[in-house]
């Protein structure tokens, strides 16, 4: 993923020097744990380092390896641009290193990396590049790389990460806790980073009290705690009913054909005692189930259309609502604003769009709003024209 970068030069800061020697987290050597001790961290066996261009030979070797990795995994990025940022003294990189001694000192030693620039006064950092070697993918290194960076961010006081993700990277960043909704005040990053056409700005809040390398442990502990609380009031694990006898048939006299399945389930010992009712079972069988299936099918189809639209290069002006605190006269001209993020929320709610025609109407309203407000010579108007053509291919019959 390519990131946006400073639009103006910043003053040099007195920052502590970082060692480029590989780091391994230390865990207790005693394998008998008390309540206060933590079990070994699975990240302890990962070899990584934080490296900057301090002019030292080991650092430069690692930076060359990172440059080669980014150039190979991000072929659309100009190699000169990658080299300029990786070797820029204001940028820092976290490098995942191979444990194979044969790769020591070569490009293949670096198997993953993230290059970022921190703004300590504003407590945020902008991610420029993020990549994992093709030979090491599908091994979870992408998540481990980001979790290690988040742990490092907590240590240096970074509160937010910002990046400009291309269409192929949005899914990865979403999985790592990034969102298109920017909650950091604009005053903290405005003027420090610049917008990039075709990229989606994404943000991740780094909670200072979370060790991101132990998230699975935390979730497991939370689940165990909830299950313990449930067992205090639940009876389902205390009462065991004998198996149904062979050839068991419930008495269905007076039950309509449409309700037979629900009545048969209610007759099973323990179902009513567990709190189920006929209404509950009817809502999950028969016609209600078919209606839910149809509703979910429409929802899935509409979400797919919106995602395809968001992925287009000309969709960038439509991804988020117009900021009316900056565009003061927008609501005077556009009386019924709409954008892709609002449309996606409506689809997920499940009760707004009943058909593809209703979605098409909102998408075309978005196009017409853009044409109404912007001059025909502006790039925004051109994006609206391109979007209208694209919608013609998605909805050929409308």
Counting DSSP H helices and E strands in the chain, the numbers are 13, 6
User: Which residue out of 126, 203, 310, 344 is catalytically annotated?
Assistant: 126
Structure tokens at 195: 């917008």
Closest CA to 174 of 199, 202, 155: 202
Closest CA to 116 of 29, 39, 206: 206
Q: Which residues pair with 164 in a beta bridge?
A: 201
Closest CA to 114 of 44, 207, 55, 48: 48
Say if residue 95 is exposed, middle or buried (CB neighbours under 10 Å; 0-12, 13-18, 19+): buried
Question: What are the two backbone dihedrals, phi and then psi, of residue 230, each rounded to the nearest 5 degrees?
Answer: -65, -40
Q: Which residues pair with 202 in a beta bridge?
A: 163
Q: Is 20 helix (H, G, I), strand (E, B) or coil?
A: coil
Rounded to whole angstroms, how far apart are CA atoms 385 and 376? 10
Q: Is there a catalytic annotation at residue 126?
A: yes
Structure tokens at 236: 């389902």
Rounded to whole angstroms, how far apart are CA atoms 66 and 380? 37
Asked whether the beta carbons of 146 and 131 are under 8 A apart, the reply is no
Question: What are the two backbone dihedrals, phi and then psi, of residue 372, each rounded to the nearest 5 degrees?
Answer: -65, -40
Unique residue bearing structure tokens 């323990």: 270
CA distances from 61 to 11, 53, 107, 279, 345 (A): 27, 10, 8, 68, 47
Asked whether the beta carbons of 115 and 91 are under 8 A apart, the reply is yes
Rounded to whole angstroms, how far apart are CA atoms 371 and 306? 20
Which active-site residues does the annotation give?
A: 126
């Amino acid at each position: 993923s390519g990131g946006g970068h400073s639009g103006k030069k910043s003053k040099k800061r007195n920052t502590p020097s970082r060692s480029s020697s590989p780091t391994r987290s230390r865990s207790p050597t005693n394998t008998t744990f008390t309540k206060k001790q933590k079990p070994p961290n699975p990240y302890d066996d990962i070899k990584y380092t934080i490296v900057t261009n301090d002019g030292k030979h080991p650092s430069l070797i690692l930076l060359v390896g990172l440059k080669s990795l980014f150039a190979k995994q991000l072929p659309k990025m100009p190699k000169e641009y990658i080299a300029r940022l990786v070797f820029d003294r204001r940028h820092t990189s976290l490098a995942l290193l191979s444990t194979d001694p044969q790769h020591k000192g070569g490009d293949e030693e670096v198997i993953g990396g993230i290059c970022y620039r921190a703004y300590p006064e504003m407590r945020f950092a902008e991610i420029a590049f993020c990549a994992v070697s093709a030979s090491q993918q599908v091994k979870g290194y992408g998540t481990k790389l980001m979790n290690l960076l988040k742990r490092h961010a907590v240590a240096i006081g970074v509160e937010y990460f910002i990046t400009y993700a291309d269409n192929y990277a949005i899914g990865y960043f979403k999985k790592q806790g990034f969102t298109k909704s920017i909650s950091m005040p604009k005053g903290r990053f405005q003027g420090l980073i610049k917008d990039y056409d075709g990229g989606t700005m994404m943000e991740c809040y780094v909670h200072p009290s979370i060790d991101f390398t132990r998230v699975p442990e935390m979730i497991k502990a939370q689940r165990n705690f909830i299950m313990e609380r449930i067992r205090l009031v639940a009876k389902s694990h205390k009462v065991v009913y004998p198996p149904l006898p062979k050839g068991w048939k419930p008495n269905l006299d007076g039950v309509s054909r449409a309700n037979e399945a629900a009545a048969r389930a209610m007759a099973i010992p323990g179902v009513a005692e567990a709190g189920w009712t006929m209404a509950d079972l009817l809502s999950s069988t028969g016609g209600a189930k078919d209606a839910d299936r149809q509703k979910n099918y429409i929802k899935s189809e509409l979400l797919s259309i919106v995602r395809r639209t968001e992925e287009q290069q000309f969709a960038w002006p439509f991804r988020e609502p117009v900021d009316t605190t900056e565009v003061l006269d927008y609501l005077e001209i556009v009386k019924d604003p709409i954008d892709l993020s609002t449309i996606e929320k409506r689809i997920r709610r499940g009760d707004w769009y009943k058909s593809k025609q209703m979605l098409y109407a909102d998408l075309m309203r978005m196009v017409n709003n853009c044409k109404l407000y912007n001059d025909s010579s502006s790039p925004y108007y051109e994006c609206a024209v391109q979007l209208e053509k694209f919608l013609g291919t998605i909805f050929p019959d409308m």
